[in-house]
Chain A
Amino acid sequence: MNRRQLWISLLLLWSLAPMLWQLISSFTTTAALVDGGVPFLQRWTLIHYRQLLSSDPPFWRFLLNSTVLASASTVLTIALAIPAAYGLVRLPQRWLRVSRALIAGAALFPYVLLFLALLELARSLNLGNSLLALAIPYSALSLPLALLLLTAAFEGLPKDLDDAAKLEGMSLVQRLRWVLIPLIAPATASTAILVFLFAWNEYPIALTWLSRSEQLTLPVAMARIAGSSVYSVPYGAYAAATVLGALPLLLLVLLFQRQIVSGLTNGAVKG
């Protein structure tokens, strides 16, 4: 093993060990979790998973909720961000610079501070306990990043292209649909994944907007599982929940690693 391999192993250990510990705990009986003396062969169980899937509401419901909400937020964000990004690029240079600074400021903003006003909003517009309504704040919160990434993509296109299409007599919608959007597809894919991840993982707004247990998203459900047990060490069930909740993301990251990296690359350059 050379030096580099050693470093790589250390890196993987640091990144994965906490999750591996969860994986092991999720298959360990409650008795064995608190007693190292339990013989090796008697330590293992599937009870935590069975409990999780037979609870009310069953755990997959939260996964479903999060997936639905994250997808809706992604679609809404992209639908708003593409025309807006195109519009931004068309603005006079001076305006573009100002709006880009503002948008970067919004992207930096610690959005958790918005929860109280957003709670008031939810109450007065009667949006509380409605899963899909959460897509509205989620889109707004993802827009700054989406705009930064997509304006960068539009700016990367040769300007003559749009003008040539215009000369051909194509309307704005046609140009977007047939020329521009296909060309920025890679950037759009990266943006979509980042937005999806944000919406999937968001906690404070979901915490204040949802209170019915069948509506909860995964992060809120996880936090609620934390407090709702009578046992002082209910970590077997938590661990099982962690494993089930991590699987979709593991898949996502493995599939889209390249898009995530390139997405942040573009954003970093321009932002």
Chain B
Amino acid sequence: MTIGRRTLAALLGLTLLFSFGLAWSGQRQIQRVNILMPAPFADATAELVQRFNRDHRGSIALRVTRGPRDTESISDLAISSLLLGSPPFDALLMDVTWLAKYAAAGWLEPLDSYFEPQEIDALVAGARLGNHYDGVLYRWPLIADVGLLYWRKDLMEAPPRTPDQLSSVGRRLMDDGAVNSGFVWQGRQYEGLSCDFVEMLSAFGGNWLNPQTGEPSLNSSEALEAVGWMRSLIRDGISPKAVTNYSESESLQAFKAGDAALMRNWPYAWAELQKPDSAVRGQVGVTLMVHNAGHQPAATLGSWGLSLLKGSDHPQAVIEAIRFLTSPDAQRERFRNQGYTPTDRSLFRDPEMLELSPILPDLEQALTHAVPRPPTPLYAQLSDVLQRQLSGVLTDDLAVDQAMNKAQINSMTIVEAAGGAS
């Protein structure tokens, strides 16, 4: 009797142990990958995630955390969890302007050992930029994005090429009564203004950071010329005064209603302009921002990409998820459904893709002229200082040279104080 009871107990113990062990090993096999993305991207990848999880059932469970929609808020969320240590995320969808900051803070895992040089070569020109810091690859691009000049095919034969041409075309069309404004862009005091500035600065041959020294050069003669031109657009009425409070959506609204002859905006605007409620449907072309002879045109680099966070338990699984989400098939799907610009060069020549959007060749051309905003960890502060002065010039009529001198001095102070120079 006693023996029977003991055996029973032993058996029970064994069964328990066994089932526990099974559960344990089962749990260990599944690698949980958590990626933080802004809400629109999380929604755009929902189907892909489902497919990935179906294909990797029992091995990898991918979860996309739907973060805030606003670029700043999602960075706040990521940074606060990183500062606390042991963040709940394995990877992060990153805006191009964050990369230097996150990499310098030591939060990102280098990706060089996971991606081959040929894979980088297969990317379209613009998508190759903004993924490295100090020569190390930290980000794999999910979508490409650059600034474009939208023009009205029904109002002009060809788009303007130089700043002067842009002004005169705009003026002529306004005088003819064809449009209310010549050119709409992003003049509000926010990041969009910095993006527009990078393009206009390049048009006059200037650089935000001096390429030799890496220091700000906001009071160069080229910069003064560029800002002077931006101000003249508003002073001469080629851009409406309201542009100083425009972000992308207001510019798009004006252009879509047929109120403007030219617009600076991102690729997403094109699909919007082809919708049935658009007054300019089928009459819009895209091209590069105007530039003076002898200088390179510039298209400010936008773009989002995935980065692997340091301290992830199973980097291989994370990389597999990143590869899946950035695969040509995934890009094709995102392009078809959401209109996100692909990063794979071959897709720009793909007949099916071209059918979906005739502007792909123009996009590819613009991507070859992509210019990143200064890849410094202090970018956010530098951009803020610049926006303040630019906005002052555009709205309060500050003198251009005084404002840009001030932007220059303030930028230098930030670089010196934050870098430890006394």
Task: State if A and B touch, Cβ cutoff 8 Å.
Answer: yes
Cβ of A208 < 8 Å from any Cβ of B?
A: yes
A228: which B residues are within 8 A, CB to CB? 39, 66-69
Task: Contact check, B43 vs A230: say whether CB atoms are below 8 A apart.
Answer: yes
A128: which B residues are within 8 A, CB to CB? 84-86
Task: Contact check, B40 vs A230: say whether CB atoms are below 8 A apart.
Answer: yes
Task: Contact check, B69 vs A227: say whether CB atoms are below 8 A apart.
Answer: yes
Cβ of B80 < 8 Å from any Cβ of A?
A: yes
Shortest CB-to-CB span from B337 to chain A, Å, is 14
A17 vs B2: C-alpha distance when bound (angstroms): 76
B69: which A residues are within 8 A, CB to CB? 227-230
Task: Contact check, A227 vs B70: say whether CB atoms are below 8 A apart.
Answer: yes
Q: A122-B84, A123-B83 are in contact. Are A211 and B77 (CB under 8 A)?
A: yes
Cβ of B210 < 8 Å from any Cβ of A?
A: no
Cβ of B81 < 8 Å from any Cβ of A?
A: yes
Contact indicator per residue, chain A 213-237, by CB within 8 Å of chain B (1) or not (0): 1000000000010111110000000
Task: Contact check, B81 vs A211: say whether CB atoms are below 8 A apart.
Answer: yes
Of chain A, the residue at the smallest CB distance from B78 is A211
Of chain B, the residue at the smallest CB distance from A128 is B84
A66 vs B87: C-alpha distance when bound (angstroms): 22
Main secondary structure of the interface of A (DSSP, over half): helix
Task: Contact check, B87 vs A227: say whether CB atoms are below 8 A apart.
Answer: no
A227 vs B66: C-alpha distance when bound (angstroms): 10
**How big is the B interface, by class?**
20 to 34
Shortest CB-to-CB span from A132 to chain B, Å, is 16
Cβ of A154 < 8 Å from any Cβ of B?
A: no
A224: which B residues are within 8 A, CB to CB? 68, 77
- Which of B43, B77, B83, B86 is within 8 Å of A119, CB to CB? B83
Of chain A, the residue at the smallest CB distance from B87 is A211
A175 vs B206: C-alpha distance when bound (angstroms): 80
Cβ of A94 < 8 Å from any Cβ of B?
A: no
Task: Contact check, A208 vs B80: say whether CB atoms are below 8 A apart.
Answer: yes
Task: Contact check, B68 vs A211: say whether CB atoms are below 8 A apart.
Answer: no
Cβ of A129 < 8 Å from any Cβ of B?
A: yes
A227 vs B67: C-alpha distance when bound (angstroms): 8
Shortest CB-to-CB span from A221 to chain B, Å, is 12
A122: which B residues are within 8 A, CB to CB? 84
Interface centre among B43, B73, B84 (most CB of A within 10 A): B84
A226: which B residues are within 8 A, CB to CB? 68
Cβ of B88 < 8 Å from any Cβ of A?
A: yes
Interface centre among A123, A129, A211 (most CB of B within 10 A): A211
Interface centre among B39, B40, B65 (most CB of A within 10 A): B39
Of chain A, the residue at the smallest CB distance from B80 is A211
Cβ of A212 < 8 Å from any Cβ of B?
A: yes
- Which of A123, A126, A229 is within 8 Å of B39, CB to CB? A229
Task: Contact check, B73 vs A227: say whether CB atoms are below 8 A apart.
Answer: yes
Cβ of A59 < 8 Å from any Cβ of B?
A: no
A119: which B residues are within 8 A, CB to CB? 83-84
A49: which B residues are within 8 A, CB to CB? none
A228 vs B68: C-alpha distance when bound (angstroms): 4
Q: A224-B68, A228-B67, A229-B69 are in contact. Are A211 and B88 (CB under 8 A)?
A: yes
A119 vs B80: C-alpha distance when bound (angstroms): 9
Shortest CB-to-CB span from B46 to chain A, Å, is 11
Contact indicator per residue, chain A 133-149, by CB within 8 Å of chain B (1) or not (0): 00000000000000000
Of chain A, the residue at the smallest CB distance from B79 is A211
A230 vs B86: C-alpha distance when bound (angstroms): 28
User: Which residues of A are interface residues toward B (Cβ below 8 A)?
Assistant: 119, 122-123, 126, 128-129, 207-209, 211-213, 224, 226-230
Seed contacts A208-B80, A208-B83, A211-B84; 4 additional CB < 8 Å A-B pairs: A128-B84, A208-B84, A211-B81, A229-B39
Q: List 24 A-B contacts (CB under 8 A).
A: A122-B84, A123-B83, A123-B84, A128-B84, A128-B85, A128-B86, A129-B84, A129-B86, A208-B80, A211-B77, A211-B87, A211-B88, A212-B81, A212-B88, A213-B65, A226-B68, A227-B68, A227-B69, A227-B70, A227-B73, A228-B39, A228-B68, A230-B40, A230-B43
Q: Which 4 A-B pairs have the closest CB atoms?
A: A227-B68, A211-B81, A128-B84, A227-B73
